[in-house]
Chains A and B, each alone.
Chain A
Amino acid sequence: MNVQGTVHKYGDHVDTDVIIPARYLNTPDHKELAAHCMEDIDKDFIHKVKLGDVMVAGVNFGCGSSREHAPIAIKASGVSCVIAATFARIFYRNAINIGLAILECPAASGGISDGDQVTVDFDTGVITNVTKHETYQAEPFPPFIKDMIEKGGLMASLKAGKADK
């Protein structure tokens, strides 16, 4: 499982209120949520993001509310992976549950700049900065988490598990 894309870079403590402002939480529709993703800190994000792009940020990404709408909005906007120095715990859990790939990697968070091209190998945890010719090592997911993300999240994987039996 690999992804490649252009980086959208943000700072520390990116909270769920800026990822998807609460005024848009009157709908669970993925496309509608994606249309307002990051709007309060980056109005242009939704116009410039392309399928497969990568979001990179500093410490404590996704702090604040438990709204699953936040990882949903990021995933539905086309982002294939979020890399941060650290994640807030509810966001981390939610991202895995909905099948949004995320990696903790302080070195990548520090080394990658906005607009860089990166590739991510989820089997090895190696993040390659194609633009700067650098690599960073993240802890790869254990197989059951990787499997859950590949199947599209917790519920999809539960369902697939039921079908296997």
Chain B
Amino acid sequence: MGMTMTQKILAKHAGLPSVRAGQLIQAKLDLVLGNDITTPVAVNEFEAAGFDKVFDKSKIALVMDHFAPNKDIKAAAQCKQCRTFARRFDIDNYFDVGEMGIEHALLPEKGLVAPGEAVIGADSHTCTYGALGAFSTGVGSTDMGAAMAAGETWFKVPSAIKVNLTGKLRPFVSGKDVILTLIGMIGVDGARYQSLEFAGPGVAELSIYDRLTISNMAIEAGAKNGIFPVDEVTKAYVEGRVNRPWTAYEADGDAEYERTVDIDLSQVDCTVAYPHLPENAHSAREGKDIRIDQIVIGSCTNGQLPDLEAAAAVLKGKHLARDVRGIVIPATMKIYREAMRRGLTDIFLDAGCIVSTPTCGPCLGGYMGILAAGERCVSTTNRNFVGRMGHVDSEVYLASPSVAAASGVAGHICHPEEV
């Protein structure tokens, strides 16, 4: 029996000729990631267990992004603890205010993840790097702490769902709409414990940024990872970023999939996930009665330069509706600078938005855009759970940058064609 792309990468990292779904393996890791929320717990565990060295100081990345710039004294103490740990072990890839970014945008940008690699991160959206043809998955802090010491961890080899993509996206439709459509089809636990293996001729029609958004939200369908084949689009992105040898893995022709889900990209429309689960997918055209108070454009899901460009294209020469707040968050400092250079920042400011330093802040209800009871936000983030962005009686509607921008102008959920 052949192997899926995920299974091939896991077999290689486990030093085995082949693996099968359900098998428990011990696999070597190419990178271990943590942020300012999860790393302190990992460091406490690491120190309590009495470890006194890390497996490889070049293969650990610590990114201060969730509550940084520090939102309060306790958050400051957490970042300080991460910094102290990073300096103690001379960690190469420690990113703090000034050079940090949202972790899942920053690591690909810096070439810290390459196709064929195996990555764990103490953040559920670590699955983002599947867009580059890597195996990557979210774990907890204890796993992170143990992996920082050992450089390896155990996995249950996942079975797979094949997502067969055909056709080509229509104007205003993006990777966000594809993944919200997919989650709407299979549900928030539709791929629980499984890998989502994207395939088919439609893959070539998706930019690397569309793919990053899609892989990012694989976890919202319960998946262990969501992986794309490596093609010319991938190679063009990693060239000049990754300066070490890497391997492109391909699924075997006879690889086993538990099922196949077909998506014709030309049939996908702008999609909004209503509260309080990402599976509550609706067309952006049916939201005229849903008045909104805020839009957020950014996050590890949609804070890349093309995301900002898409939002700016809608907002150019327009202004947010009265009483709608607009918060734009470029995901990294490089994107921030490029947005200024290309005039996107001016478009956002002219439209009445603010442009923030990179942070995860509002996405998880940390700071920088918390909602009051009864308030609604159209957000390009990834979760719309109860209380996710603030009060338990507030509501988050997940959408693409174009839809969020259009909704901000209209004052209600709106398809970008309609503004």
Contact = CB atoms under 8 A, between A and B. Distances in A.
Interface of A: 13, 15, 17-18, 21-23, 25-28, 40-41, 59-60, 63-69, 71-72, 86, 88-90, 93-94, 97-98, 153-156, 158-159, 162
Interface of B: 37-38, 40-41, 44-45, 48-50, 66-67, 71-72, 74-75, 78, 121-124, 126, 138-143, 145-146, 188-189, 192-193, 219, 222, 224, 277, 364-366, 383, 385-388, 392
Contacts of A18: 385-387
Contacts of A72: 41
Given A17-B387, A26-B71, A26-B78, A93 B37 contact: no
A40 B392 contact: yes
B27 to A, nearest CB: 14
A84 to B, nearest CB: 11
B37 A25 contact: yes
A66 B142 contact: no
A156 B72 CA distance: 32
Contact of A63 (B38, B188, B364): B188
B143 A40 contact: no
* Chain A CB within 10 Å, residue with most, of B49, B75, B124, B143: B124
A73 to B, nearest CB: 12
Given A26-B67, A66-B38, A66-B122, A155 B224 contact: no
A155 B140 contact: no
Contact of A155 (B38, B48, B192): B48
21 contacts: A17-B387, A18-B386, A21-B387, A25-B366, A26-B78, A41-B386, A59-B189, A60-B192, A66-B139, A67-B38, A86-B189, A89-B222, A89-B224, A90-B124, A93-B139, A93-B140, A94-B140, A94-B143, A155-B45, A155-B48, A155-B145
A151 to B, nearest CB: 12
A22 B366 contact: yes
Contacts, number: 129
Contact of B124 (A41, A64, A97, A154): A64
Given A63-B222, A89-B193, A89-B222, A154 B387 contact: no
Contacts of A86: 189, 192
Given A17-B387, A26-B72, 15 more contacts: A17-B388, A22-B37, A22-B365, A25-B67, A28-B44, A41-B386, A65-B383, A66-B121, A68-B41, A68-B142, A93-B139, A153-B142, A154-B146, A155-B142, A158-B146
Contact of A65 (B48, B71, B193, B364): B364
Given A26-B78, A40-B386, A60-B188, A97 B364 contact: no
Contacts of A41: 386, 392
Contacts of A97: 140, 142-143
Contacts of A94: 139-143
A88 B72 contact: no
A154 B392 CA distance: 34
B40 to A, nearest CB: 5
Main secondary structure of the interface of B (DSSP, over half): loop
Nearest to B49: A155
A159 B78 contact: no
B222 A28 contact: no
A72 to B, nearest CB: 8
Contact of B38 (A68, A158, A159): A68
Contacts of A64: 124, 383, 385
B385 A60 contact: no
A90 B78 contact: no
Nearest to A158: B49
Given A26-B78, A155-B48, A67 B189 contact: no
Given A63-B188, A154-B146, A13 B138 contact: no
A60 B189 contact: yes
B40 A28 contact: yes
A25 B49 CA distance: 23
Contacts of A162: 50
B364 A26 contact: no
B387 A68 contact: no
A98 to B, nearest CB: 6
A104 to B, nearest CB: 11
A13 B189 contact: yes
A70 B44 CA distance: 16
A66 B365 contact: no
A21 B143 CA distance: 22
Nearest to B47: A155
A17 B386 contact: yes
Nearest to B364: A22
B16 to A, nearest CB: 20
Nearest to A23: B365
B385 A15 contact: yes
Given A155-B45, A159-B49, A93 B385 contact: no
Contact of B143 (A15, A23, A28, A93): A93
A13 B365 contact: no
Contacts of A22: 37, 66, 364-366, 388
